[in-house]
Structure 1
Amino acid sequence: MALTGRIPRDFGNLTFLVSLDLGSNNFHGNLPQEMTRLHRLKFLDLSFNNFRGGFLLESQIPKVIGNLRELKLRGNNLIGSIPLSLSNASRIEFIAFTGNSLSGSLPNGLCNGLPILKGLYLSYNKLPGNMPTSLSNCSQLQILSLSENEFDGPIHTEIGRLSNLQKLALRTNHFTGIIPQEIGNLVNLAVLDMEKNQITWSVPISLFNISSPQILLAWQNNLIGEIPKEISNLVELEELGFAFNSFSGSLDMEIFNISGLRVISLSVNNLSGSLPPKIDSIV
Structure 2
Amino acid sequence: MEGHFRSHSALYFQLALRPNPRSHRNRITGELPSDIGRVHRLTVPNITDNLISGKIPPSITNLSSLMHLDLRNNRITDEIPRDFGQLTMLSRALINRNQIEGTIPDSISKIHRLADLALSLNWLSSTIPESLGRMAVLGTLNPDSNRISGYISASLLASSVSNCPDL
Normalising to structure 1: TM-score of the pair?
0.54
Q: CA deviation at 1:184?
A: 1.1
1:227 paired residue among 125, 128, 145: 128
Counterpart residue type for residue 41 of structure 2:
Q
Identify the residue that residue 213 of structure 1 maps to in structure 2: 114
Asked if the contact 1:210/1:233 (under 8 Å) is kept, the reply is no
Counterpart residue type for residue 255 of structure 1:
L
2:105 paired residue among 189, 204, 212: 204
Identify the residue that residue 236 of structure 1 maps to in structure 2: 137
CA distance in 2, matches of 1:113, 1:223: 31
Residue correspondence of structure 1 range 102-141 to structure 2 within 5 A: 102-110=1-9, 117-121=17-21, 122-141=23-42
Percent identical residues: 24
Identify the residue that residue 72 of structure 1 maps to in structure 2: none
Gaps of 5+ in 2: none
Query: Does the C-alpha gap of structure 1 residues 105 and 229 become closer, same or farther in structure 2, counting only changes over 3 Å?
Result: same
User: What does the per-residue CA deviation read over 1:3-27, in whole Å, with 9 as the maximum and x for residues that have no partner?
Assistant: xxxxxxxxxxxxxxxxxxxxxxxxx
Asked if the contact 2:88/2:110 (under 8 Å) is kept, the reply is no
Asked if the contact 1:159/1:182 (under 8 Å) is kept, the reply is no
User: What does the per-residue CA deviation read over 1:199-240, in whole Å, with 9 as the maximum and x for residues that have no partner?
Assistant: 001011111222111000011100000111101121101111
Counterpart residue type for residue 24 of structure 2:
S
Normalising to structure 2: TM-score of the pair?
0.90
Larger Rg: 1
CA distance in 2, matches of 1:262, 1:230: 16
Aligned residues: 164
1:180 paired residue among 81, 84, 97: 81
Query: Does the C-alpha gap of structure 1 residues 197 and 223 become closer, same or farther in structure 2, counting only changes over 3 Å?
Result: same
Asked if the contact 1:109/1:134 (under 8 Å) is kept, the reply is no
Gaps of 5+ in 1: 1-101, 268-283
Q: What RMSD, in angstroms, separates the aligned Cα atoms of the two structures? A: 1.9
Q: Which of 1 and 2 has higher RCO (CA within 8 Å, sep 6+)?
A: 2
CA distance in 1, matches of 2:157, 2:126: 20
SS across alignment from 1:249: coil
CA distance in 1, matches of 2:46, 2:35: 15
Residue correspondence of structure 1 range 48-197 to structure 2 within 5 A: 102-110=1-9, 117-121=17-21, 122-197=23-98
Q: CA deviation at 1:113?
A: 6.3
User: What does the per-residue CA deviation read over 1:162-196, in whole Å, with 9 as the maximum and x for residues that have no partner?
Assistant: 01101000100000000001211100110000111
Identify the residue that residue 165 of structure 2 maps to in structure 1: 265
SS across alignment from 1:220: coil
